[in-house]
Every structure is written in structure tokens, then in C-alpha cells.
């Protein structure tokens, strides 16, 4: 996925963040990994709303976040 609004360096930073929290190295961020990511970013208040947060990333509805979905979310911010 190419993104026009982020530079190559910014995409690399987002990729590094994604893979830092893909703890089992399966190429996706699962629910528990998303919780860890949000907590690390200081968002422990997201836990009660984790389904909504996951849905905001998970555009194809498969229950996990692929890098393209993660990147799209960051580029929209």
C-alpha cells in the first residue's frame, strides 16, 4: 500500500511501531497486541472500548489489523 500523505521515513516509523507490537510475528496486530500498544501509548482508558478501537482500524472486518490498515489509520490522523 502506498500512501501519498506520509513520507517514506514516516511510513518506516509506522512500520517499526506496527512490528514492535506484533509480538508473535504473524504479520497482524491482534486484540491483545492492540491493548498492549494502546497502553504503551498511554491509552489505558481504551480497554473498555477495545472493540470500537479495533473496528476503527480493521476495515476488512477479519478481527485483526494488517499493516495496510494500521498505516491508513495513521495517515488519516
Q: What is the dihedral of CA 58, 62, 67, 70, to 10 degrees?
A: 10
Q: Is residue 48 part of a domain?
A: yes
Q: Is residue 15 part of a domain?
A: no
Which pLDDT score is estimated for 46? 64
- Give the total number of structural domains in the chain: 1
Q: Is residue 52 part of a domain?
A: yes
Q: What domain range is 39 assigned to?
A: 31-60+70-77
**CA 61 to chain centroid:** 14
pTM to 2 decimals? Answer: 0.83
Which pLDDT score is estimated for 19? 96
Q: How far apart are CA 7 and CA 9, in angstroms?
A: 5
Q: How far apart are CA 75 and CA 2, in angstroms?
A: 11
Q: For the segment 39-54, what is each residue's pLDDT rounded down to a tens digit? A: 888 766 666 788 888 9
Q: Is residue 10 part of a domain?
A: no
pLDDT-wise least confident of 2-16, 23-37, 54-68: 2-16
Q: How far apart are CA 6 and CA 74, in angstroms?
A: 9
Q: Is residue 36 part of a domain?
A: yes
Amino acid at each position: 500500500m502506498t500512501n501519498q500523505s506520509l513520507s517514506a521515513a514516516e511510513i518506516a516509523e509506522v512500520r517499526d511501531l506496527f512490528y514492535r507490537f506484533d509480538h508473535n510475528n504473524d504479520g497482524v496486530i491482534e486484540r491483545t497486541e492492540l491493548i498492549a500498544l494502546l497502553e504503551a501509548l498511554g491509552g489505558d482508558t481504551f480497554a473498555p472500548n477495545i472493540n470500537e478501537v479495533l473496528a476503527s482500524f480493521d476495515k476488512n472486518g477479519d478481527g485483526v489489523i494488517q499493516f495496510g490498515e494500521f498505516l491508513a489509520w495513521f495517515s488519516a490522523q
